[in-house]
Structure 1
Amino acid sequence: MKKQRSKYRHISFTAHYTGYIWYKMGISHPVFATKKGKSLATLVDPVERLAEKYVGGSMRTTLKERHTMLDDHLKKLIEQYPNLQVLEIAAGLSPRGWWFRTHFPEIAYRELDLPDMAATKQEALNKIAPNSPEVMSVDLFTEEFQQIFKEFDENRPLVVISEGLINYFSKDLLQKLIQSIATYGKGFKSLHYLTDIYPEPVKNKLAKVIWSSSKLLKIMSRSAFSFHFTHPSEIQAFFNQAGFSQVNVIQPSNYFKHEQALPKPEEHLGDLVWMVDAILK
């Protein structure tokens, strides 16, 4: 019986754009750079240049910031837990799984996405290595998501990671997703959920322009894309409510200035994207 197509499948078009941008930045493999991604990048390049000049940042600059922070933090967790397991949800055309399996072969790294994107990613991975692990495929908001956690060893620590995902959901749906991760991961020796998140751009002089752009993205992705939080403490409380006991919010202004992830400040520093490390103990 053929599975019903997910109503969230339209979000996947952004994976082509991000996959191509990461390739152009020199941090990805050519197989993850699609023609569709190149077309999207070419289309929005003039807007991106204007944003970088007048806003001080753009989609592609935040892509580099969030990707770097997530990768750096994952490397530190591997140092802490050499037998780490990783589940990347909505993996898209990110090079992360390929890169970490290549450089840290001792960890177990699996990727997950909706059926169409999972097939696209699998085809790309097989061009690099025919024995690449299967890209798993489920809708995150179905009971099938729970079964994915059974693919991992509960006696080993697990990291769930997502990038460029959670702003596409309504606040209620986002709470459901985070609660699911906390519930399904409670039996593991240790559980971290690493994700990026876009806060309300209230500190930016062109906040209204950014808000207008987000409305366009909402229409194009047929999603509930929105900025849900203004202060780090709001994110903390939200993740606490979902079941996570410790929540660290890391902002690029702190991270890149000091070259390390510092304790979260209590205010919005003006960055367009933040990173969250939510821990279940």
Structure 2
Amino acid sequence: MHQPPLSQHRHISFTAHYTGYMWYDMGISHPAFATKKGKWLTTLLHPLELWSERFIGGSIRRTLTQRHILIDQALLKLIESQPEIQVIEIAAGLSPRGWSFRRKFSELRYIEVDLPDMAKAKQDALGKAGQADAEVMAVDLFTPEINQLFEKLDRNKPVVVISEGLVNYFSKTMLAQLWGTLADHGKTFPKFYYLTDLCPEPVNHRFAQVVWKSSQLLRFLSRSAFSFHFTSPQEVKDFFKDCGYDKVYIGQPSQPDKTEVTEHLGDFVWFVQAMIDKSNT
């Protein structure tokens, strides 16, 4: 049997084991998503996490919690206001989000996407978690395979695409390609949303250099282009609009209220909701 070429982005998947176990350790996931590799990585990094919380005021665990909650809250609002919405989570890894939302909303169309090895691991884990019929697709987002994500969807219903913990692994050129392709497909639906997190440059933090050095280690381990691309919310908005989106909202965990702010507040992670609405055209 002919084997498809290995994706150059396959090494990023190792982080899925770590985050998958962290979500399980937080009590928001199923044991099926907690792997031995994830447990090993969590144990290995635990001392660093404690040091980071104490001296930097943040940690991977806290960042994971913040981004996961912000995306979940936004997705829940979309589903409650538009029950017919169709969901695609790209680079889903061992995230419990699809499993959790399918339990809450039994009629929800929720498709999880990742590279072949991780997609198979996710399908197997979902089977153990009682969702053997869940939709999982093996797709390399930087090939024409990405078109498959939208082929079986209802063109008369809105769509939301989700990514978590993905953006910083790619260069801005690659992000423009990915977000632009998603926008091109999104314009064929009544409404299209993209929910994601991203890590801005740590310019407003006294330990910025420590964070930078840590990011270089992650870049090496994941064999990726991991980097920080944005220093202000407006930069993010402009980039998304250049990719074809109509409206862009940026949320920061330390915002005092729901009012959007324009400056970098020093958070390690931001939430983004970008939208395309055909009714405005």
Q: TM-score, normalised by structure 1?
A: 0.96
Whether 1:269 and 2:260 are equivalent positions in the alignment is no
Is the CA contact (8 Å cut-off) linking 1:193 and 1:277 kept in structure 2?
yes
Whether 1:206 and 2:212 are equivalent positions in the alignment is no
User: Aligned residues, how many?
Assistant: 276
- Stretches of structure 1 that go unaligned for 5 or more consecutive residues are none
Deviation at 1:134?
3.2
SS at structure 2 position matched to 1:135 = strand
Is the CA contact (8 Å cut-off) linking 1:248 and 1:263 kept in structure 2?
no
- Which residue of 1 is the match for residue 91 of structure 2? 90
Structure-to-structure mapping, 1:102-121, within 5 angstroms: 102-121=103-122
Is the CA contact (8 Å cut-off) linking 1:232 and 1:264 kept in structure 2?
no
Amino acid at match of 1:269: L
Distance 1:134 1:116 in 2: 15
- Which residue of 2 is the match for residue 158 of structure 1? 159
Residue by residue, what CA displacement relative to the aligned partner does 1:123-160 show, whole Å, maximum 9, x if unpaired? 10011225322310110000110121112111111000
Distance 1:180 1:202 in 2: 30
- Which residue of 1 is the match for residue 10 of structure 2? 9
- Which residue of 2 is the match for residue 60 of structure 1? 61
Range moving further from structure 2, 142-151 or 198-207:
142-151
Residue by residue, what CA displacement relative to the aligned partner does 1:86-121 show, whole Å, maximum 9, x if unpaired? 000000000000000010112210100000000000
> Aligned pair in 2 of structure 1 residues 130, 191: CA closer, same or farther (>3 Å)?
closer
- Which residue of 1 is the match for residue 275 of structure 2? 279
- Which residue of 2 is the match for residue 180 of structure 1? 181
Is the CA contact (8 Å cut-off) linking 2:123 and 2:132 kept in structure 1?
no
Amino acid at match of 1:112: V
What is the percentage of aligned positions where both structures have the same residue? Answer: 56
SS at structure 1 position matched to 2:155 = coil
Q: TM-score, normalised by structure 2?
A: 0.96
Residue by residue, what CA displacement relative to the aligned partner does 1:205-228 show, whole Å, maximum 9, x if unpaired? 100000000000000000000000
Distance 2:132 2:67 in 1: 29
Distance 2:155 2:248 in 1: 22
Whether 1:40 and 2:36 are equivalent positions in the alignment is no
- Which residue of 2 is the match for residue 74 of structure 1? 75
Distance 1:207 1:82 in 2: 42
Distance 1:130 1:84 in 2: 20
Is the CA contact (8 Å cut-off) linking 2:110 and 2:135 kept in structure 1?
no
Is the CA contact (8 Å cut-off) linking 1:182 and 1:280 kept in structure 2?
yes
Is the CA contact (8 Å cut-off) linking 2:99 and 2:131 kept in structure 1?
no
Distance 2:191 2:232 in 1: 27
Is the CA contact (8 Å cut-off) linking 1:168 and 1:226 kept in structure 2?
yes
Is the CA contact (8 Å cut-off) linking 2:161 and 2:195 kept in structure 1?
yes
Range moving further from structure 2, 157-166 or 124-133:
124-133
Residue by residue, what CA displacement relative to the aligned partner does 1:21-49 show, whole Å, maximum 9, x if unpaired? 00111111111010000000111111111
Q: CA RMSD in A?
A: 0.9
Amino acid at match of 2:117: D
Distance 1:147 1:92 in 2: 18
Amino acid at match of 1:214: S
Distance 1:206 1:241 in 2: 32
SS at structure 1 position matched to 2:266 = coil
Amino acid at match of 1:36: K
